[in-house]
Structure 1
Amino acid sequence: MIRLIALDLDGTLLDPAGQITDETKAAIAQARQAGIKVVLSTGRSAQEAADFSTQAGCDNLSVCLGGAVLSDNSTGVHLRRWDIPENVSQTALELCLHRDIELMIFAGEQIVLDPFSHRSLSKTFPYPVFHNAAVVTEDPIAYLKEHDLPLTKIHGDWNQPAYPLAELSKLEGIELTSSNDHDFELVPKGVSKGRTLALLALLWGIPLDQCAAVGDSANDLAMLQAVGTPIAMGNACQAVKDAARYIAPDNAHEGVAQAIRWAMEQS
């Protein structure tokens, strides 16, 4: 019996154009009408999760920032958050900045961009909710200090040869993962979509063996391993497919809609 379905966003709920199809919205509505909770579990911010959750017709809680945040979509409040240890956060930022890497710096409930990342993301990441929430500053490290903000997550993209992955991997209290084959994500050690999804399910009194999860990338693997019914997208990496009980079509061919309906048949 499936009582909760968690959906990754990029490469999963969103089609290649970054949209949620009508067929997907219909499948989510069908699941919720059957009494099944449907939530987002994404590497994106709480602001974006709330927006996409509303568009899709999902339930009110979301797993955000790769599991570093459990948020309330109606208020934007972080119900639970795990931050990168203060003693390594500045070093992590120093390693990432000034390398012409497209950085998203998530600092508590704020999104902070350096000027290079702001210019680049304005062209490559066409999501107004993200940009409207972001603060642009010449010195993100000084901005975080001035406003007493924690470092919660760093997402890096665009200039792969410049990634300081070897240096970052030596820092204590952090973990490196990715959401596709050309980015990196830095989160607090122990944080994953699987752990925070387990907390969400606990809040609703739903055993994990009655949960399904749908994803496509490395940062979805812990989520799929945590639930009783793991589902991979057709465009998923091989490790995610290997962890799945069912492989849906890809995100260009209504994969999420079919995944949801397959999960409902298991109930």
Structure 2
Amino acid sequence: MIRLIALDLDGTLLDPAGRITQASKDAIARARAAGVRVVLNTGRPIQEAVWFAREAGCDALLSCLGGAAVVDGVRGETLRRWDMPEESGRRALELCLGREIELMIFAGEEIVVDPFSKESLSRTYPFPIFHSAAVVAEDPRAYLEERGLPLTKVHGDWNQARYPLEELGALPGVQLTASNDHDFELVPDRVDKGRAMALIALLYGVPLGETAAVGDSDNDLSMLRAAGLPIAMGNAPAAVREAAQRTAPSNQEEGVAWAISRCLEENEWERGEKG
């Protein structure tokens, strides 16, 4: 019996145009009406994750920042957050800034961007919630230090040849992952979507064996491995599909609506068998 379904956002719940389709919203509504929790589990920041969860009609609890924060989106409360060690966070910014990398710097509950990234993101990232929440800082390192802010996550994109991946990967207390084939994400060590999903399931009183997870990227592997029913999107790379028990259609073909419908059908079948 599936009692909780965790959904990735980009490449999964969002279609290629970055929208949540009506079919996905309807499937989420059917699941919740049947008593199944539906939660977001995304690499996006708190502000965007909460907005998309409301837009989709998901349950209150959600995971964001690649599993580095678990939030109650209804009450606007961060229930748990994991930050990088201070020295590693400082060094990570030193390594990334000034390389013409499109950076998103997530400092606790704040979003910080340098001027280069602000200009680049205004062209490549068409999501108003992000831009309205982001602060532009000439020197993000000084901005964080002056305000005593932690570094929770760094997302880098656009200029792969300049990524300092070897140096970042050597920093203590952090780990590298990715949400597609051209970016990188730096998060605290032992932080991932699987652990965040496990915490959400615990808070909702749902055993992990009664959860399903739907995702498409490397940073979704941990939640697919943690879930009782792992479902990969049809647009996922081979390594992600191999980690799943089922493969849904792509995010261009209503894959999330298909995945949720299969979970509900299996629940009905199981009820019938027990009846």
Query: Same fold judged by TM-score > 0.5?
Result: yes
CA drift of 1:45 comes to 0.6
Question: Counterpart of 2:80?
Answer: 80
CA drift of 1:263 comes to 1.4
Question: Counterpart of 2:223?
Answer: 223
Kept after mapping to 2: 8 A contact 1:47/1:76:
no
* 2:19 maps to 1:26: no
Kept after mapping to 2: 8 A contact 1:46/1:76:
no
Q: CA separation in 1, counterparts of 2:266 and 2:240?
A: 20
Q: Deviations over 1:10-64 (max 9, x none)?
A: 0000000000001110000000000000000000011101100111000001100
TM-score if structure 2 supplies the norm length?
0.96
The alignment partner of 1:175 has SS state of: strand
- In the TM superposition, 1:37-186 aligns within 5 A as 37-186=37-186
The alignment partner of 2:250 has SS state of: coil
- In the TM superposition, 1:193-232 aligns within 5 A as 193-232=193-232
Q: CA separation in 2, counterparts of 1:86 and 1:266?
A: 47
Q: CA separation in 2, counterparts of 1:87 and 1:126?
A: 33
Letter in 2 for 1:177: T
Letter in 1 for 2:75: T
The alignment partner of 1:236 has SS state of: coil
CA drift of 1:145 comes to 0.5
Aligned length, in residue pairs: 267
Q: CA separation in 1, counterparts of 2:194 and 2:71?
A: 15
CA drift of 1:87 comes to 1.8
Letter in 2 for 1:86: E
Question: Counterpart of 2:13?
Answer: 13
Identity among equivalent positions (%) equals 65
CA drift of 1:78 comes to 1.4
CA drift of 1:75 comes to 3.4
Q: Deviations over 1:207-245 (max 9, x none)?
A: 000000000000000000001000000001111100111
TM-score if structure 1 supplies the norm length?
0.99
Gaps of 5+ in 1: none
Kept after mapping to 2: 8 A contact 1:46/1:62:
no
Gaps of 5+ in 2: 268-275
